[in-house]
């Protein structure tokens, strides 16, 4: 099957290490059907993270140029919108101010703190840290509906130093169930973010298949596939095995969004 990479960071993200044009050329060579450029925009980010934003007008103008140059390749206008419970009105204003094809809602911070920096992990046990993250995520998706995809639902495990590197239903089912119910009832997609399941510090996070199975049981229909690539080498990374994983969990399609409407590609 020809897939879409629904989560890509270009030169418009401060940590992006590839141009949009190079990403398109690379994807065509890989046989990928299309890309969603979902550059970072974190509203009211703590510390120096306020640099994680971009000018949507400039980003979308560049996409318009590339669409003319590569008419047979689908290029999606997107944003990775970082949510925090206290800034949802601002996020909603931003989301409604531009014609995005797809909006990924992501949680990068916990109670106004960036786990990536500082001593968040050392001050919390694995269960405390992970539960706090899920509760923050639930508050955001419960009260903010102007999005299409929940990005990297288990982002908190990606950089954690703990031996436990999974948000499993066995350990966090009560908390995750609330999030999955909101997604399923609202017709939102759950993202498989292949960047999360890479080895860091000698440990590799694990995607618990029970999360996907439970999402399906609750009526969840849509799964998106995103590499979260910041450089050319990672575009479409590990899509084949994770697509098989999604099919094994009971889903027949991989979904992307255009014009804020879901488009499903059958898993072959």
Structure tokens at 52: 């994680």
| Bridge partners, residue 102, by sequence | 78
84, HSE (Cβ side, Cα atoms, 13 Å): 16
pLDDT surpassing 80 at residue 47: no
Q: Which helix (H) or strand (E) segment is 110 a member of?
A: none
What would the two tokens of residue 132 be? 């706090």
Q: Are 180 and 214 in contact (CB under 8 A)?
A: yes
Write down the pLDDT at residue 176. Answer: 98
* Chain-centre distance for alpha carbon 100: 15
- Where are the chain's structural domains? 4-266
Q: For residue 223, report the phi and psi dihedrals to the nearest 5 degrees.
A: -125, 130
SS3 8: strand
Query: How many helices (H) and strands (E) in the chain?
Result: 9, 9
* pLDDT at residue number 117: 78
Residue 208 tokens, joined: 């618990």
Q: What is the 3-state secondary structure (H, E, C) of 21-52?
A: HHHHHHHHHHCCCEEEEEEEEECCCCHHHHHC
Q: How many CA atoms lie within 13 A of 76 on its CB side?
A: 29
| Distance (Å, whole) CA 133 – CA 126 | 11
Give mean pLDDT, residues 84-102: 96
Residues 168/173/179/180 CA torsion (nearest 10 deg): 80
Residue 4 confidence (pLDDT) above 80: yes
pLDDT at 1: 75
Any residues with CB less than 8 A from the CB of 1 and at least 6 apart, and which?
A: 243, 254, 265, 266, 267, 268
The bridge status of strand 74-82 relative to strand 102-106 is parallel
Cβ contact 227:216 at 8 Å:
no
The pLDDT assigned to 186 comes to 98
Which superfamily does 4-266 belong to? Metal-dependent hydrolases (3.20.20.140)
Confidence band (pLDDT; 50, 70, 90) for 49?
low
Model confidence, pTM: 0.97
What does the block give as tokens for 41? 């925009």
Residue with tokens 């993270």: 49
The mean pLDDT value for 230-235 works out to: 98
pLDDT band per the 50, 70, 90 thresholds, residue 232 = very high
* Rounded Cα–Cα distance for residues 209 and 47 (Å): 35
Residue 163 or 118, more confident = 163
Res. 34 pLDDT band, cuts 50 70 90: very high
Q: How far is residue 260's CA from residue 117's CA, in Å, rounded to a whole number? A: 34
Q: Are strands 253-258 and 102-106 parallel, antiparallel or unpaired?
A: unpaired
- Alpha carbons 146 and 199: distance in angstroms, whole number: 33
């Amino acid at each position: 099957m020809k897939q879409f990479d629904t989560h890509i960071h270009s030169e418009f993200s401060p940590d992006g290490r590839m141009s949009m044009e190079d990403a398109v050329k690379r994807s065509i060579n890989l046989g990928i059907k299309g890309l969603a450029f979902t550059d970072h925009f974190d509203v009211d980010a703590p510390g120096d993270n306020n640099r994680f934003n971009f000018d949507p007008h400039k980003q979308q103008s560049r996409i318009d140029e590339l669409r003319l140059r590569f008419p047979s390749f689908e290029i999606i206008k997107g944003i990775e919108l970082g949510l925090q419970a206290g800034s949802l009105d601002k996020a909603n204003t931003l989301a409604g101010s531009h014609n995005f094809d797809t909006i990924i809602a992501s949680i990068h911070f916990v109670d106004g703190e960036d786990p990536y920096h500082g001593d968040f992990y050392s001050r919390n046990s694995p269960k405390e840290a992970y539960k706090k993250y899920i509760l923050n995520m639930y508050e955001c998706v419960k009260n903010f509906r102007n999005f299409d995809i929940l990005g990297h639902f288990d982002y908190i495990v990606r950089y954690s130093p703990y031996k436990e590197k999974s948000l499993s239903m066995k350990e966090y089912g009560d908390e995750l169930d609330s999030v999955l119910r909101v997604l399923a009832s609202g017709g939102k997609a759950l993202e498989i973010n292949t960047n999360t399941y890479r080895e860091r510090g000698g440990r590799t996070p694990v995607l618990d298949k029970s999360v996907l199975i439970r999402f399906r049981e609750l009526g969840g229909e849509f799964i998106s596939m995103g590499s979260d690539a910041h450089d050319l080498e990672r575009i479409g990374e590990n899509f084949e095995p994770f697509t098989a994983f999604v099919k094994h969990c009971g889903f027949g399609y991989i979904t992307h969004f255009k014009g804020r409407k879901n488009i499903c590609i059958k898993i072959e």
